[in-house]
Amino acid sequence: MSTNREKKYKEIFEAIMGLSREIRCCSRDEALCQDVTFHQFVILDAVAEKGELDLAALHGILSVEKSTTTRLLEPLVRRGLLVKDRALHDSRAARIVLTGEGRETHRKVWECLMGFFENINRNIPQGKRKEVLEAVRLFAEAMRKAAVECRCCQEPLKRIIT
């Protein structure tokens, strides 16, 4: 392996490690606010945005196994933040809707996250926000495509990234 090539790939590796280290708050099963984890908030936010959501659509949004979706969803149902019932279009499908308490919890967690996002925004050089966000989106998409195309990656890695 040439030194320049190795250096280039080492820089990508270090960028991935840095991102991984800093976004752990988004992948842990610990509550970030209002006793809601990041992934549970993703569920609340998706349902709040759509008004109602079927379980199949939620699997796609979360990009996780069905059992993981259920594991994330059930505590929200038990707490009365979401109602899960039969979909109107198909009695075999489940439909998810926010309750009043769910809407209020979504609002409070969103306020908490906005403070976090404001801190991130404050640490991006002025005038670079749009450029930085676009670069992160491009990098994430490149990682997703690389995982799908990679013949040497094991299946679990491909599932995590895609």
| Domain co-membership, 39 together with 116 | yes
pLDDT in tens, 54-74: 888 888 888 888 888 888 899
Mean of per-residue pLDDT scores for the chain: 85
What is the residue range of 12's domain? Answer: 1-28
| Domain co-membership, 46 together with 117 | yes
pTM summary value: 0.76
| Domain co-membership, 105 together with 87 | yes
Q: Which helix (H) or strand (E) holds 97?
A: strand 94-98
| Domain co-membership, 77 together with 116 | yes
| Number of structural domains in the chain | 3
Position 116 pLDDT exceeds 80: yes
Which CATH number fits the domain that encloses residue 98?
A: 1.10.10.10
Helix axes of 38-50 and 66-78: crossing angle, nearest 10 degrees: 80
Average pLDDT over residues 142-160: 69
Give the residue, 59 or 135, on which the prediction is more confident: 135
Amino acid, res. 8: K
Average pLDDT over residues 71-80: 94
Q: What is the CA radius of gyration of the chain?
A: 19
